[in-house]
Each structure stands twice: as C-alpha cells, then as structure tokens.
Structure 1
Amino acid sequence: MTNAAVTTGATPALDGQAQKKTLRRIITRNWWLLFVNSYTKLEGTTFAHVMMPFLEDIYGKETDEFYDAMKRHSNFFNTTPMMNPFILALVVTMEYERKAALDAGKDFDDNSIESLKVALMGPFAGIGDSIAVGVLRILTTGIALGFSQQGLWLGPVLFLVVYNVPNLLIQWLMGTMGMKLGSGFVAEALESGMIASITKGLNVLGMLMVGAMTASFVGFSTSLVLDMGNGVTFDLQSVLNQIMPGILPLGLTLLCFAYLRKHNRPMLLMLILFVAAIALTALGVCG
C-alpha cells in the first residue's frame, strides 16, 4: 500500500456534518451486503451495490471514473456483515482521498484500495463470526429457549431484540472506528497480532457458551433399572452420575457434532435421533 493510501484519521472531505451523514449511510447501506451472493464473488456484487451512492457523490453519476470504481469494487469479497462497516468506512475515505489526489495532480495507487479490502476481510470475518455466531447467537438462543420452553411469546421477541440491538451497536461502532482511526491503525493491529488474539479469545468464549447450553438444554437420561436379586437394584443413571453428571447429554452432543462434521446431513440426523428415541423408549432404556 502506498503512502497516499494510508490515512490516520478522517478525510477532510468528510469532516463535521458530512462525516455523520456518511456514517449513517454506511450503516444503512451495509444491511444490503447479504442481499445477493454468488459462488464466484460471494458478497462482491453487493459490496459494489453498497458503494454505489458514495461513488456517485465522489465521481459523479455515470462517469468513466464511477464505472471504473464500480468495477474495482465488484471483485470477490466476503466478511461478516457486522464488521463490514469498518472496512466500508475505510474504503469510502480512501476513495475520497483518491479523488483529492488525482484532482491535485498527484498519483494514487488504485490497487491499494483492493489490497486493503482483501487484507481486512479475513481477520474481520474471524472476529465477526466469533462474536455473531460463537457468542451473541448462542447467548440469545439460550435466553430465548428458556422462555420458549415455558410457552411464552417473549422467547422469539427477546431473541430478535437481544441479538439485533447489539448487532446494530457493533455496526455503528465499527463504522465510527473506521472513519476515525484509518488504515494506519489497521496495519499496526495486523502486524502486532492483536486481531488474532481477539479472535482466539472470542472463539474460546464461544466454546464455553456452547458447553453451557449443552448442559442446560440437551436432555438425555436413562431410566434403566435392573433387579439384581435379593432386593438389590442397578440404577444405570445413578452410576453414570457418579462417573460424571451430564455424561449422556455431552456424549450425545459430541456424537451429533462428529456426524455433522463428517456428513453434514442435519435432516437425516434428526430422523436418526427420532427413531432412536422411540426405540430406546420402547425397550425401557429411556423414560
């Protein structure tokens, strides 16, 4: 990336009220990022669509520079939508800087904009997936399930609220940081390993949440009690509890995970579990 493309703060063209307006547009436009995906470009086409009004403001409508920029932003792109406002804000500011540099008769490396997107989409996808899928979605699902199991309408409502409110706040925070910090901060974060550390920590937290949900919501126990004679009985569940409480739900979860990881057939797995539940109940193994 050339020096012309590295920014350590807000672009002069986006100071004050213009910066706030641009930030609002970045957040609302970002909601379209997953509207259309393709196997070849994933979010590339929609990223260009999201950028369209900003590029029209910078280069003018239906100008050669506008179409060149649209083509530049239609390449392969894939990251977590929650984190994308950070990348989007940096790209918008760099496009403003490109326009200012060219108007002043200076050179600007167009490849630096694409290089920034490629460099950030992977690390930010790791952080975003860890937050959205590994932590936030699991946490909200756990809260919603508790109410839903009681037949309360608060279950699905709380899921929507508790998941989407933090999601929107994170998008706003990412967009604000992207506008203020600039690509110089990102380069330092990537080189220092800070982003990798954050991703690893969130993955660990996500695994802890999965374990907590397994213990709370996966119900599997045995009612098998054998008469050993002379008034002595063998209670299999009591023995298993002495070995490790919750060993059956944990074992079932790990078996399901191993099956899905190898075959990825969730509907067939649900059918297997349904048939197994009926068979074990008929045999008296489960109550």
Structure 2
Amino acid sequence: MSTNKLTKKDITKAWARYYAGVEVSASYERMTALGFSNGMTPILNKLYANNPEELKKAYERHLMFYNCEATWGSMIFGIVGALEEERSIMLDQGVSTEEIDQYTDIISNLKVGLMGPLAGIGDTINHGTIRPILMSLFIPLAETGFWGAGILPFAIWGVVISALGYFLNVKGYTLGKDSIMNVLQSGRINQMINTCSVLGLFMMGALSASYVKLSTIISWSDAVGNESTLQAVLDNIFPNLLPLAAVFAIYFYIKKAGPKYIRILLGIIVFSLVFAFFGIV
C-alpha cells in the first residue's frame, strides 16, 4: 500500500466489535454476515467517509452470505480490512472503474473462498481439540468438588481463543491476501491439523476408558469348581473392551442416524435395565 488510512487502533476496535457479535446475529438467510458487517462498519465509515455511494456499496457487499468459525475467521476479517483500505486508496488515486470493479470482485470472492477452509481448521483445532482437552483436565477436579472446575475451563478457553483471534486478525491485515494463501498452501498447517486430530483421539480414548463404565457379571465354574468370569477373559484380551465397544456403537449410530441424543439416552437406559435384569451386566 502506498498509504495507510487505518491505524492499529482502528483495526483492533473493529475486530473487537466483530468478535463480540459475529455469532450472536446468525440467521439462516445470511448466517453470520450481519456480525461481520457490523464489525467492518467503523472501517468502512472511515475509508469511505467522503463517498456515500461507495459506502453504501461496501455495506451491501459485506451483508452477503458469510459463515465461518469466528476465531479463524478473524484472519479473513483482517485481510478484508486491508483490501478495503487498498480499494479506498485506489479510488482516491483515480484508478479506472474496471480495475476497481475487479478489485471489488477479489474482496467478495476471497471471503467466499476462504470461509470454508478456515471454518474447517477452526472447528478441528478450537472446538475439536483445545476445548475437549481443557474439559478433560478439569473433570477430575470437578469430581473432587473443586468449585473452580466449573468456571476455569471456560475462562481459559475464552482467553485462549480471544488471543488467537486477535493474533490472526493482526496477521491477516499486516500480510494481506497473500498471508492466508501461504497458510493454506503450507504443509505445516496440514501437519498441525493431523497432530491436533491425533491428540484429540488420544484424549477421547483416555476419557472413554476412565469415565465409561461397562462390565459383564457372567461367570461359570469348571469341573473342579474353579470360577471364571467373562470380564476377566475380556480384560486379558483387551482391557476396557466393553466401554470402547459402547463408545463406538454410539458413534456409529450418530454417524448414521444423526445426533438424536434423547433417543441415545433412552436406548442406554433400556439396554442397562434389560441386560441387568438378565444378569448380563
């Protein structure tokens, strides 16, 4: 850019406005576009203060359908802020209408093209890894009656994702549109996602073994009166096999039928009552 119209304070205040409300205004028609546009409003007002017609077009441009995970979407917010600033400078310099229109298309297409990939990254890292790990760390403390176990995971979670969102917004604005392309094309981001996925699976396995309780009481005696239990046999083959089987059964049911949690809970209750009645578990 030849000139900077926006200050660091402008970018930070706009991002805070975006981050505080982007998920609040979600609707089926525009998803989170209203929150994105609301955050962008101070930037647009400053960039197009002397051009009401361009300001109107900018508002309309950012009210188009938009849906992305809020934290990683902060990078899109920063990039769009930088592109809008560059577009405003081009207008001031008298660049041709054709070039302005092409640049406008870049802004709109960039949002549409990036919101899907970044949403996948955000859901995997933030919601699929960081949050479950924090919850699992505080579950044992909650079982001991520690009051902070019900508050601290959410407080830490809020601080972590807010700091990450701020960092991504600043990087997006500073580096511009090339930054996200470098991130997505880099092999490191794929390594990060794979590492987080493996770590998430590890934590889910540990939680399943620790908190899912299922065992069988089936037993028998041999000819000389020695009693054996089916549970002991299973533990020798594969410890915690039944809890793991229960977790996978529920997982495959959700994958096939969808997240029908009430039906799952009722099924678990019926299963427990029937198998306990027949002396199986």
Give me the TM-score of the superposition, normalised by structure 1. 0.87
Task: Say how many residue pairs are matched.
Answer: 275
- The sequence identity of aligned pairs, in percent, is 28
Following superposition, the deviation at residue 148 of structure 1 comes to 2.2
- Deviating above 6 A after TM superposition, structure 1's stretches of 4 or more consecutive aligned residues are none
**Change in CA separation of 1:257 and 1:197 when aligned onto 2, cut-off 3 Å:** same
| Structure 2 letter corresponding to 1:156 | G
Q: Distance in 2 between matches of 1:143 and 1:27?
A: 29
Q: Which runs of 5+ in 2 are unaligned?
A: none
Residue 257 of structure 1: how far off its partner (Å):
0.4
Asked if 2 retains the 8 angstrom alpha-carbon contact of 1:227 and 1:233, the reply is: yes
Residue 216, structure 1, aligned to residue 238, structure 2? no
Please say if 1:276 is aligned against 2:268: no
C-alpha deviations, 1:136-186, integer Å up to 9, x for none? 111022123222223332221122123212111111211121122221232
| Correspondence 1:175 to 2:137 | no
RMSD of equivalent CA atoms: 2.2
- Between the aligned partners of 1:206 and 1:27, the Cα distance in structure 2 is 29
1:244 maps to 238
Mapped to 1, the partners of 2:3 and 2:245 lie a distance apart of 55
Say yes or no: does 1:165 pair with 2:159: yes
Corresponding residue for 1:3?
none
Deviation string 1:233-264 (CA, Å, 9 cap, x unpaired) is 12111111011111111100000001111112
Distance 1:222 1:28, change over 3 A: farther
Amino acid at match of 1:258: F
**What is the CA distance between 1:202 and its match in structure 2?**
2.7
For the 8 Å contact 2:5–2:47, the answer to whether it is kept is no
Verify the 8 A CA contact 2:18 2:36 in the aligned structure 1: no
Residue among 189, 201, 206 paired with 1:207: 201
Shift of 1:61: 8.9
* Greater RCO, CA 8 A, separation 6+: 1
Question: Residues of 1 paired with 2:50 and 2:263: CA distance?
Answer: 52
> For 1:202-241, what per-residue CA distance to the aligned partner results, in whole angstroms no more than 9, with x for missing partners?
3333222222222222222223333445322121111110
Match of 1:140 in 2: 134
Structure 2 residue 110 is the aligned partner of structure 1 residue 121? no
Q: Which residue of 2 aligns with 1:49?
A: 38
Query: What's the TM-score, normalizing by structure 2?
Result: 0.89
CA distance in 1, matches of 2:130, 2:139: 14
